[in-house]
Chain A
């Protein structure tokens, strides 16, 4: 399976994603330049973390208009898997691939830390190798990670099982102390209506080796492999 990793000017987790796919997962990966118009036959698209276009105007607002995003949107529309991580989540929201938006952290500080997330739905293209309720450890590194959406959209996400990850403490409790950025309902990751676009602020690609503190992110990539290759 081929993973296409989009590099925007200012992306800084593209190499981490590339390494996770090639070294850990053992699959093929290719970088897709933001000015390209071709996904080069990629089966899965990763919008990586970073600070595309310097976060000018709003995080992800300009990247959304990169030429490659037209192809990414078309890929998503036909059910192709897209994973937006951190800045990639912000870009996916700005592009309308996912509902809601990411705003400045409620405490106004950049947060770089390991957090815990609880798997809320294990019946998705991205989480089928996790158990529901399982607690995962992954790093976060962002200044604009507070997920917000209108009340009716939040209700819809909850009702349809589209809240995939929630910030939680070690015991699996969802509370304000476990919430690193003030996200509504501790939301850390959501999927699109079609279930094929995932957006999340934590970094699974940086949680792929015990050497780096956690390998809880590996099964996210393996889940895609299991579902898409099946």
Chain B
């Protein structure tokens, strides 16, 4: 067993109203960043876990996302490659 760290990005499901993202987008435009097209605000989660190898760790975190870390109705998730912790 080795220790791995995996980063998870969770964002509002595309197509669903994201009022928080819209508010930040509008604030950026007010600041003069007129080229900003879209902003989405989500969560960034770091998981440290023991696993036999990186692939096993990534599979486990994908399972964690499906079961708890992300809501399957409203959120999308992406996991980064596992790195040794």
Contacts and interface: CB of A to CB of B under 8 A. Distances in A.
A103 B23 contact: no
B71 A58 contact: yes
Tell which of B20, B23, B73 has the most Cβ of chain A within 10 Å. B73
Contacts of A150: 73
Nearest to A108: B19
A106 B19 contact: yes
B74 interface: yes
A57 B17 contact: no
A141 to B, nearest CB: 19
A148 B16 contact: yes
Q: By CB atoms of chain B within 10 A, which of A65, A103, A105 has the most?
A: A103
A104 interface: yes
Contacts of A93: 73
Contact of A148 (B20, B43, B73): B73
A106 B17 contact: yes
In terms of DSSP, what is the predominant structure of the interface of chain B? mixed
Interface string A68-111: 00000000000000000000000001100001110111111000
Contacts of B19: 104-108, 182
A100 to B, nearest CB: 6
B42 to A, nearest CB: 12
B1 interface: no
B23 A101 contact: no
Interface string B10-42: 001000110110010000000000000000000
Nearest to B69: A57
Given A57-B68, A61-B68, A100 B73 contact: yes
Contact of B73 (A65, A101, A104, A108): A101
B68 A104 contact: no
Contacts of B68: 57, 61, 65
Interface centre among A57, A65, A93, A99 (most CB of B within 10 A): A57
The 3 closest A-B pairs by CB, nearest first: A101-B73, A101-B74, A106-B19
22 contacts: A57-B43, A57-B69, A58-B71, A61-B68, A93-B73, A94-B71, A99-B73, A100-B73, A101-B71, A101-B74, A103-B12, A103-B16, A103-B17, A103-B74, A104-B20, A106-B19, A146-B17, A148-B16, A148-B73, A148-B74, A149-B73, A182-B17
Given A93-B73, A148-B73, 6 more contacts: A65-B68, A100-B73, A103-B16, A108-B20, A149-B73, A150-B73
